[in-house]
Amino acid sequence: MMKLFPDFETKKRFMKTGLPIIAGIAWSPIIWIVVLAVLGPSLFALTASWPVTLAITFFVVLFTALFLMKFFIRLGAKFYGESN
C-alpha cells in the first residue's frame, strides 16, 4: 500500500477525488438492476417498448450515479478536508 501512496497528502488527494468516482462506477450496475426491477415493468407498460424502457433506465441510473458521486465527494471533503 505504501507504493501507491508514498505520503499522506497523496492518499488524501486520492480519497477526495478518485475514490468517489470509483464508487460511482462500481455502484452503477447495482443501481441499474434495482431501477430496472422497480421501474421496468411500469415503464414497459407505459411505453410498450423495451429499448425505450432501457433508455429511460439508463438516464435514471446516470443521474443517480452522478448524484451519489457528488454526495461521496462532499462526504469525503468532511472527513479529509483541510480541518484535519
pLDDT tens digits, 25-73: 888 899 999 999 999 999 999 999 999 999 999 999 999 989 988 887 7
Count: domains in the chain: 1
Q: Is residue 45 a part of any domain in this protein?
A: yes
Q: Is residue 21 a part of any domain in this protein?
A: no
Asked if pLDDT for residue 78 goes beyond 60, the answer is yes
What's the rounded Cα separation, in Å, for the pair 25 and 19?
10
Q: Is residue 17 a part of any domain in this protein?
A: no
Q: What is the pTM (predicted TM-score) of this model?
A: 0.69
Which pLDDT does position 80 carry in this prediction? 62
Q: Is residue 4 a part of any domain in this protein?
A: no
Stretch 15-19: mean pLDDT, rounded? Answer: 71
Q: Is residue 13 a part of any domain in this protein?
A: no
Residue 19 CA, distance from chain mean position: 10
Which pLDDT does position 22 carry in this prediction? 81
Q: Is residue 47 a part of any domain in this protein?
A: yes
Which pLDDT does position 84 carry in this prediction? 44
Range of the domain at 63: 27-84
